[in-house]
Chains A and B, each alone.
Chain A
Amino acid sequence: MHEMSLVQALLAQLTTLAAEHDKKRVITVTLDIGPLSGVVIDSFQFGFDILSAETSLTKGAKLIIINPPATYQCIRCGHRQSAAVRPDHCPECNETLLIPEGGDAIILNQVEME
């Protein structure tokens, strides 16, 4: 359940941002959580619901999570494909060994505050 640690890191960033921009309340938070990030999105949402309710800054804030695809490169022919779920093989040469690239990001993109 390391999602709790990540939610704590998010709330720390929101607190810093609110102070920097002289804002009192977070309305929406938009994050990218990649399919290879090792984060269970439901657990992250659960942690956010609990911890965000503890301070007036984040109480009632809405969390928007975008799950961008990862890229898989074929070890034999080098063909790249984008996919949310790991593909079984390369569509060009049928090779099954594909090297994942990216898809492991956990990025805070935008915060709407007032």
Chain B
Amino acid sequence: MCDSCGCDLTDNHSHKTDSRVIEVHQSLLAANDAIAAENRAHFEAMGVVAINMISSPGSGKTTLLEKTIERLKGKIRIGVIEGDIETDRDAQRIRAKGVPVVQMTTGGACHLDAAQIHKGLHLLEKEPGGDQLDLLFIENVGNLVCPATFDLGEHQRVVLVSVPEGPDKPAKYPKAFISSQIFVITKTDLLPYFDFPVAEAKADALHLNPRLQVMALSATSGEGFEAWIEYLQEVTENKGSGVQAGGRKEGTYP
């Protein structure tokens, strides 16, 4: 501790009479988290459950959404906010399935933030049917690192890893798995061709986050798909009550 002013700074520390140490104790994510809280209130006012999907590029998020929309058509009203660095290709694929979708392009940024979702939500509400939803998927930018830090106001966070990526993703990218409620292993139809011990990937993920619910499925063959559909029906029926807020835990700092 510094003897002159009693602060925690130990070196390179000036005590000129006009300098002053200001105690702040505020998260750098405070601005993002405030907007995320507004988004959450907005979702709840709309009666929609929001799910933030996080994975590496190419893990099959969009394909899973396409099959999910087909499967739940007429049962659950689905909307999608797509996040990508460039292009609206994913939004075109989702639009072809006949559900409201908006594409947010980050123009280089590696993640979606709460302000982009705020904007996306207002755009989505202008789409036909976009203000009458039960379930909103937010497909984050393909990246297993940066999106994990930013709370978007979602109710649930889902992290996905595809079989060709290998089983060591949980161990290498812990934050995404610690902050999620659901871990989906995708492309299980490729298990015969890749060395992907499902039990090992599950154990690694549970080691990081014992509360994680793990599913393994193939959107192509339909194997394991029912557990995913049941999960979506369950969170949608709960309408946000009893589902955990995604993202960083609130109140972890005094």
Contact = CB atoms under 8 A, between A and B. Distances in A.
Whether chains A and B associate is: yes
Interface of A: 1-2, 5-6, 9-10, 12-13, 17, 21, 23, 27-28, 30-32, 36-39, 62, 64, 66, 75, 86, 96-114
Given A38-B175, A107-B253, A27 B26 contact: no
Interface in B1-44: 7-9, 12-14, 16, 18-29, 31-32
B29 A2 contact: no
> Which interface residue of B31, B148, B206, B252 has the most chain A CB atoms within 10 A?
B252
B19 A110 contact: no
Q: What are the 7 A-B residue pairs with the smallest beta carbon separation, nearest first?
A: A2-B146, A38-B175, A114-B19, A97-B210, A102-B252, A38-B149, A106-B28
A99 B210 contact: yes
Contact of B13 (A28, A106, A107, A113): A28
B196 interface: no
B15 to A, nearest CB: 9
Interface of B: 7-9, 12-14, 16, 18-29, 31-32, 109-111, 113, 145-146, 148-150, 174-175, 178-179, 206-211, 248-249, 252-253
B197 to A, nearest CB: 17
17 contacts: A5-B111, A12-B31, A21-B22, A27-B13, A30-B9, A38-B148, A38-B149, A39-B149, A62-B12, A64-B9, A106-B27, A107-B27, A107-B28, A109-B23, A110-B8, A112-B20, A113-B19
Contacts of A6: 28-29, 149
Contacts of A114: 14, 16, 18-20
Contacts of A21: 20, 22
A97 B206 contact: yes
A111 B101 CA distance: 43
A37 B16 CA distance: 34
Contacts of A12: 31
Contacts of A1: 110, 146
Nearest to B21: A112
Contacts of B21: 110-112
Mostly, the A contact residues are mixed
B226 to A, nearest CB: 27
B20 A105 contact: no
A1 B174 CA distance: 16
Contacts of A2: 109-111, 145-146, 149-150
Nearest to B15: A112
Nearest to B13: A28
Contacts of B207: 96-98
Contact of B145 (A31, A38, A62, A101): A38
Nearest to A39: B149
Given A36-B175, A36-B178, A104-B252, A99 B211 contact: yes
Nearest to A34: B252
Contacts of A39: 149
Contacts of A37: 149, 175
A106 B22 CA distance: 17
Given A30-B9, A107-B253, A112 B24 contact: no
A87 to B, nearest CB: 11
B58 to A, nearest CB: 20
A27 B14 contact: yes
Contacts of A112: 7, 9, 13-14, 19-22
A15 B217 CA distance: 49
